[in-house]
């Protein structure tokens, strides 16, 4: 749950916070995208399909950005891109 994640992040040291936070953002966006794509395909209401399809496009863009941030943080942590 989001409360558990928030409590966990409160206890993470500053050095690891960004990496842990973005890992949760990537996972949450991936789950949301999966759900939206399923609704866009399977919903019986055409308006729901349209809305889910449009939102899936936005969430996919956000997921791509989050993954790029995650990648840069991983490279920073390894010292290759500091």
How confident is the model over 54-72, as pLDDT tens digits? 999 999 999 999 999 999 9
**Alpha-carbon separation of residue 23 from 20, 28, 51, 62, 71 (angstroms):** 5, 9, 27, 13, 10
Taking every pair of Cα atoms in the chain, the longest distance, rounded to a whole number of angstroms, is: 50
Q: With contact defined as beta carbons under 8 Å apart, do 77 and 15 qualify?
A: no
Residue 82 reports pLDDT greater than 50 = no
pLDDT at 76: 67
pLDDT at 81: 45
Per-residue pLDDT of 14-49, as tens digits, reads 889 999 999 999 999 999 999 999 999 999 999 999
């Amino acid at each position: 749950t989001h409360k558990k994640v928030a409590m966990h992040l409160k206890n993470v040291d500053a050095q690891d916070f960004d990496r842990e936070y973005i890992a949760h953002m990537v996972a949450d966006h991936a789950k949301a995208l999966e759900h939206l794509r399923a609704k866009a395909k399977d919903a019986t209401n055409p308006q729901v399909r349209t809305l889910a399809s449009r939102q899936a496009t936005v969430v996919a863009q956000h997921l791509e950005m989050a993954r790029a941030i995650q990648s840069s943080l991983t490279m920073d942590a390894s010292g290759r891109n500091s």
